[in-house]
């Protein structure tokens, strides 16, 4: 069992029950087992379960049975199903394993927290979001090392149970990730800026290039290629991700439209782009030179621990494995 | 002399006089010599000229002398100085070598054509723009293969001399480039779309990420990294490039602001980004699948040759070396 770091002195490492064995859930099951955790999974598709079993993993298509087993051992349940399936999954958890700690790996965190509340599971729920993925999907695409060195946000919202928070963070550390504590709303605002807005701008840039026809596309070089790269992502995945974070994305998009409108006015009236280009260059440098520092000395459950965690996350702090 | 292809049956290959021996001019001098062309260069800096001479190239700091030599042999003069130095350079050309054919490698083409007109050189001038470069600059960064497989636009404006057009295109072919014929205004509109707009969007995206502080920058992954890459370019170079193409860039930027405003309204009112993401994906696919075809059978100077060249360029046609 390779568990070098503990997020809290007294953290327990419960069994892990993974619901959904696609790219993320399948990688998580592999990584948890590799870290010495007892773990099993559920998937609705028999062929996925067969594939997991053929590789020696403990998997089943019977959701009720899988959850009753989780209830018996007080396992940590990880929701790894697509967003549209989350509500139905929470309903079955509430029926068969209402006392288990629950987390998720399904992107937008405020929406997940609201869903947990709707099903009476808010006090057992601590959201999570590993910033890992590839353009592939499905169990076969999974990788035991997918989360290694990745950043994994663990929600530090008011009222969370420190014991469950520690269990979720410990699972992320066991998978080799760096844990970033953040409030759900702050997480959603941050990913709108660095993950969802880039997709919108890439789509808009691709449209501008194509509107220039074969002449423009034939002259395109590195700046266009890189600036439009993520426009080649599957449209339904891009839409699900961006539309699911609507409020935060609208706010970020409004900011950016204001920046571009100001630049437009400066260029038209004064012939200068200085107020866009100079700060934009500095912002990119800040990104290139960002540094992570290691959080220590905040014991979950101690006085003001949530505020201290959130503050550390805001300032670039991480828990390291 | 490795000159596999000729742009015209009767094209002459005059000596080449390169003014400015930075990254582009320095690479051009090397490539022209490697192709068997007689070529020499000028640079205002003695240390650059010394470096070029040390590598066996014919270079001088005396602009008048260099141009008088060009006039004697009716050399093709290539302007490779920074945009702010173009007017002064044209003035000296008009004084010492007014009969020579002149081209340039200085990006925005309508502005260059206007400058040539101001100095009475419009009938001897055919603009050019090799779509090649690196983030480095100066003679030392030059590379004999910089233009190999690159696209090189040669301006096909009304009234150009077909003999000079052929000489300029032939030089580009000799350097290993694919020649795209395009009217100056169409070139400027195209590069606004695929080169200048990407810079503006990258700057704006970098600002959005940095506004999210260390939390957002710490969560940033591939989409943000690639979408902001060109924001790390030197701000003065980005400004010179974008501000120099003001009218075309404003037009492209307005189009893109309209696209983003529409997407914003759809997301706010209907919760959907379908009308941005689906066409954006198709546009990126069109870019990925673009194909170049080889122009043949258009003899510069023949009937309607300019219209036919421009039409071919618009449809993805190139002259190949």
Nearest residue of B to residue A259, measured between CA atoms:
B204
**pLDDT per residue as tens digits for the range B191-220:** 999 999 999 999 999 999 999 999 999 999
Cβ–Cβ gap A281/B202 under 8 Å: no
Cβ–Cβ gap B243/A189 under 8 Å: no
Asked whether the beta carbons of A263 and B237 are under 8 A apart, the reply is no
Which helix (H) or strand (E) segment is A293 a member of?
Answer: strand A293-294
Nearest residue of A to residue B232, measured between CA atoms:
A281
Three-point CA angle A225, A228, A234, nearest 5°: 125
The neighbour count for residue A186, using CB atoms within 10 Å, is 24
Least CB-CB distance to A260: which of B151, B253, B277?
B253
* Domains of chain B with CATH codes: 16-182+291-318 (3.40.50.720), 188-288 (1.10.3660.10)
Closest approach of A47 to chain B, Cα-based (Å): 31
**pLDDT per residue as tens digits for the range B69-116:** 999 999 999 999 988 899 999 999 999 999 999 999 987 899 999 999
Asked whether the beta carbons of B87 and B115 are under 8 A apart, the reply is yes
What is the model's pLDDT at position B45? 97
Instruction: Give the residue-averaged pLDDT of B236-250.
Output: 94
ipTM: 0.93
Query: Which of B37, B1, B44 has its CA nearest to residue B20?
Result: B44
What is the model's pLDDT at position A279? 98
What is the model's pLDDT at position B120? 97
Closest approach of A171 to chain B, Cα-based (Å): 19
Q: Look at residue B155 and tell me whether its pLDDT is greater than 60.
A: yes
- Between CA B42 and CA B87 the distance in angstroms is 16
- Between CA A29 and CA A59 the distance in angstroms is 10
Tokens coding A199: 């997709």
Q: Which residues of chain A have pLDDT under 50?
A: 1-3
What is the model's pLDDT at position B12? 86
Distances (CA, A) of A106 to A50, A80, B206: 24, 6, 25
Place of tokens 């470096």: B51
Q: Look at residue B1 and tell me whether its pLDDT is greater than 70.
A: no
Q: Look at residue B282 and tell me whether its pLDDT is greater than 90.
A: yes
- Between CA B105 and CA A245 the distance in angstroms is 46
What is the model's pLDDT at position B4? 53
Considering only CB atoms, which chain A residues are within 8 Å of B111? none
What is the model's pLDDT at position B3? 44
Least CB-CB distance to B217: which of A218, A250, A287?
A287
Closest approach of A1 to chain B, Cα-based (Å): 28
Percent with pLDDT over 70 in chain B: 98
**In 3-state terms, what secondary structure has residue A43?**
coil
Query: Which of B97, B90, B202 has its CA nearest to residue A205?
Result: B202
Considering only CB atoms, which chain B residues are within 8 Å of A278? 235
What is the model's pLDDT at position A3? 45
pLDDT tier for residue B133 given thresholds of 50, 70 and 90? confident
Least CB-CB distance to A313: which of B215, B225, B313?
B215
Q: Look at residue B2 and tell me whether its pLDDT is greater than 60.
A: no
Least CB-CB distance to A201: which of B213, B227, B288?
B227
Instruction: Give the residue-averaged pLDDT of B20-45.
Output: 97
What is the model's pLDDT at position B5? 65
B14: left (phi over 0), alpha (psi -120 to 50) or beta: beta
A190 contact partners, CB below 8 Å, separation of at least 6: A182, B212, B215, B216, B219
Least CB-CB distance to B205: which of A201, A229, A285?
A201
A:B CB pairs within 8 Å: 346
- Between CA B286 and CA A216 the distance in angstroms is 12
Closest approach of A224 to chain B, Cα-based (Å): 5
Tokens coding B272: 């959907």
Nearest residue of B to residue A228, measured between CA atoms:
B284
Which helix (H) or strand (E) segment is B308 a member of?
Answer: helix B305-314
Q: Kind of pairing, strands A128-130 and A151-155? A: antiparallel
What is the model's pLDDT at position A4? 53
What is the model's pLDDT at position A72? 98
Give the single-character DSSP code of B319. B
Cβ–Cβ gap B257/A264 under 8 Å: yes
């Amino acid at each position: 069992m390779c568990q070098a770091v503990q997020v809290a002195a007294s953290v327990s490492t419960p069994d892990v029950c993974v619901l959904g064995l696609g790219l993320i859930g399948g990688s998580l099951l592999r990584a948890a087992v590799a870290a010495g955790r007892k773990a099993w999974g559920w998937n609705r598709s028999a062929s996925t379960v067969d594939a997991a079993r053929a590789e020696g993993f403990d998997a089943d298509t019977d959701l009720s049975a899988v959850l009753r087993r989780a209830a018996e051992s007080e396992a940590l349940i990880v929701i790894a199903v697509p967003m549209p399936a989350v509500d139905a999954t929470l309903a079955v958890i509430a029926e068969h394993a209402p006392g288990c700690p629950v987390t998720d790996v399904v992107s937008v965190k405020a929406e997940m927290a609201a869903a947990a509340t709707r099903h009476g599971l808010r006090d057992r729920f601590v959201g999570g979001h590993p910033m890992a993925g590839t353009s592939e999907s499905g169990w076969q695409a999974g990788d035991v090392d997918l989360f290694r060195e990745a950043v994994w946000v663990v929600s530090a919202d008011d009222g969370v149970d420190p014991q469950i928070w520690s269990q979720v963070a410990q699972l992320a550390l066991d998978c080799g990730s760096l844990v970033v504590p953040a409030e759900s709303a702050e997480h959603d605002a941050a990913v709108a800026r660095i993950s969802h807005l880039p997709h919108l701008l890439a789509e808009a840039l691709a449209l501008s290039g194509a509107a220039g026809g074969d002449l423009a596309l034939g002259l395109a070089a590195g700046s266009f290629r890189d600036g439009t790269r993520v426009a080649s992502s599957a449209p339904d995945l891009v839409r699900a991700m961006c539309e699911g974070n609507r409020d935060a994305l609208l706010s970020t998009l409004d900011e950016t439209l204001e920046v571009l409108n100001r630049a437009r006015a400066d260029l038209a009236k004064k012939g200068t782009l200085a107020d866009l280009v100079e700060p934009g260059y500095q912002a990119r440098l800040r990104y290139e030179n960002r540094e992570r520092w290691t959080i220590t000395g905040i014991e979950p459950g101690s006085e003001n621990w949530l505020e201290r965690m959130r503050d550390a996350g805001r300032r670039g702090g991480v828990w390291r494995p």
